[in-house]
Amino acid sequence: MAKSKYEYVKKFEQNDQCLMNCWIVIRIDGRNFHRFSDGHGFEKPNDQRALQLMNKCAETVMKEFTDIVIAYGQSDEYSLVFKRSTTQFSRRASKLVTNVVTLFSSSYVFYWNQFFPTQELLYPPMFDGRVVLYPSEKNLRDYMSWRQADCHINNLYNTCFWCLVKQSGLTAEEAEERLNGTVSSDKNELLFSVFNMNYNNLPQIYRKGSVLVWERVCDINDKVQEENARKPKRQIVVHHTDIVGDTFWSEHPEILD
């Protein structure tokens, strides 16, 4: 197409290409989900349906952008990691983050009814998104550890908080006051001695969050698979496992390739 005299305005665009060799992490987080979860009757502290819906959205994004090698989610947030060699959208940060966050948001609405069949979606939810680059294996693993530690800290606090409110009848302010200054062992002890609850027996999805990775699967019941045995299918698998220690990473070496 012939260029118009207006074409020069394109030169005002910022070059936001992500530095090569770095893992590109996109973290999205629900806007004001404190209010959203209240308004839509989420069970407290952990609504299974909401967590499964978040996982479905992350899976949808991973299937569209197959250079995402791992995604980690908890609460209203998800971190999606593009492999360090990706050339998706020429590594342009704004393209990457906007495509990921809009597909995630539209999936949240698109699949809402599947997970909340009896709860009407009352208004359009929003998610923010940011891009962070990690140049070393250590930095990337520390990032993932940071998010999983955050999941644990929040979940332990929220579990105590909602026990105090729901079972002991404290107000939100009283429960907050009661937990003020307590350390992790105090909270475990409170759950154990007052609420007869062993924190470590709570479902892993609440304590560890969700880890989505691509894995090769060979389903021997699948005829087509048998014929294609030489090229096993890649499939997204959900784990609720520790990603701080070395075990997970040595079992999934391709993430750090």
CB 3 within 8 A of CB 116: no
CB 179 within 8 A of CB 161: yes
Q: Identify which of residues 30 and 129 has a Cβ nearer to Mg ion in the complex.
A: 30
- Of residues 56-85, those binding ligand ATP (CB under 6 A): 75-76
Q: Which stretch binds ligand ATP (CB under 6 A): 34-42, 177-185, 209-217, 224-232?
A: 34-42
CB of 251 to ligand ATP, least distance (A): 27
Alpha-carbon distance of 63 to 77, in angstroms, equals 18
| Residue 139 Cα to chain centre, angstroms | 18
CB of 110 to ligand ATP, least distance (A): 18
Q: Which stretch binds ligand ATP (CB under 6 A): 26-34, 63-71, 111-119, 133-141?
A: 26-34
Q: Which stretch binds ligand ATP (CB under 6 A): 27-35, 104-112, 185-193, 224-232?
A: 27-35
Q: Identify which of residues 30 and 73 has a Cβ nearer to Mg ion in the complex.
A: 30
Strand 233-239: give its sheet, edge to edge.
Answer: 127-134, 23-30, 77-82, 68-74, 210-217, 233-239
| Residue 2 Cα to chain centre, angstroms | 45
CB of 41 to ligand ATP, least distance (A): 10
Binding mask 63-102 for Mg ion (x = CB under 5 A): ------------xxx-------------------------
If you ran DSSP here, which 8-state letter would residue 153 be given? H
How many CB atoms lie under 10 A from the CB of residue 6? 7
Residue 81: closest CA among 193, 213, 244, 227: 213
CB of 76 to ligand ATP, least distance (A): 4
Q: Which residue in the set 22, 24, 33, 115 belongs to the binding site for ligand ATP (CB under 6 A)?
A: 33
Is 33 one of the binding residues for Mg ion (CB under 5 A)?
yes
Residue 239: closest CA among 218, 208, 200: 208
Beta strand residue intervals within 106-147, DSSP E = 127-134
- The residues pairing with 71 across neighbouring beta strands, listed in sequence order, are 80, 212
Is 209 one of the binding residues for Mg ion (CB under 5 A)?
no
Q: Which residue in the set 26, 30, 45, 134 belongs to the binding site for Mg ion (CB under 5 A)?
A: 30
Q: Which two tokens stand for residue 190?
A: 């409170």
| Chain residues in the site for ligand ATP (CB under 6 A) | 29-34, 37, 42, 44, 46-47, 50-51, 75-76
Footprint on this chain of Mg ion (rule: CB under 5 A): 29-30, 33, 75-77
